């Protein structure tokens, strides 16, 4: 079973036991994070598609760690100007979440 979830405008395809990096939020290591914006769910007997979200479907995960992405370096440079260059670096912080449970209620 797998699901496609939306979090902070980004879509993730998740499977139980897999780790994803989501935008940073207030959560400690070991906390349970619940994603309720489930767009699609692939089941053994077929698939369920939301319009836009599946009602009562949830994906739960446990916070493992706070991680940083690779450094992004940018340069600003103005030609023919003395001392007019600047090097800027940035590392985005993420929350690593391990998916523990995909809950999709059965339909009649």
Residues 6+ apart with CB under 8 A from 17: 98, 99, 100
Does the residue 76 lie in any domain? no
d(C-alpha 68, C-alpha 72), whole Å: 11
Does the residue 108 lie in any domain? no
Does the residue 86 lie in any domain? no
Per-residue pLDDT for the chain (108 aa), expressed as one digit of tens each? 899 999 989 999 999 999 999 999 999 999 999 999 999 998 888 888 888 999 889 999 999 999 999 999 999 999 999 989 999 999 999 999 999 999 998 763
Does the residue 44 lie in any domain? yes
The domain in which residue 52 lies consists of 2-65+95-103
Q: Number of structural domains, the chain?
A: 1
Does the residue 42 lie in any domain? yes
Q: Note the pTM of the prediction, 2 decimals.
A: 0.80
């Amino acid at each position: 079973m797998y699901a496609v979830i939306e979090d902070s405008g980004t879509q993730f395809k998740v499977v139980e036991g897999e780790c994803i990096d989501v935008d940073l939020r207030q959560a400690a290591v070991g906390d349970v994070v619940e994603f309720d914006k489930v767009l699609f769910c692939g089941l053994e007997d077929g698939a369920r598609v939301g319009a836009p979200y599946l009602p009562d479907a949830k994906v739960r995960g446990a916070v493992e760690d706070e991680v940083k992405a690779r450094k992004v370096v940018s340069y600003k440079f103005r030609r023919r100007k003395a001392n007019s260059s600047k090097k800027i670096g940035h590392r985005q912080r993420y929350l690593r979440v391990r998916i523990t449970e995909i809950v999709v209620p059965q339909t009649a």
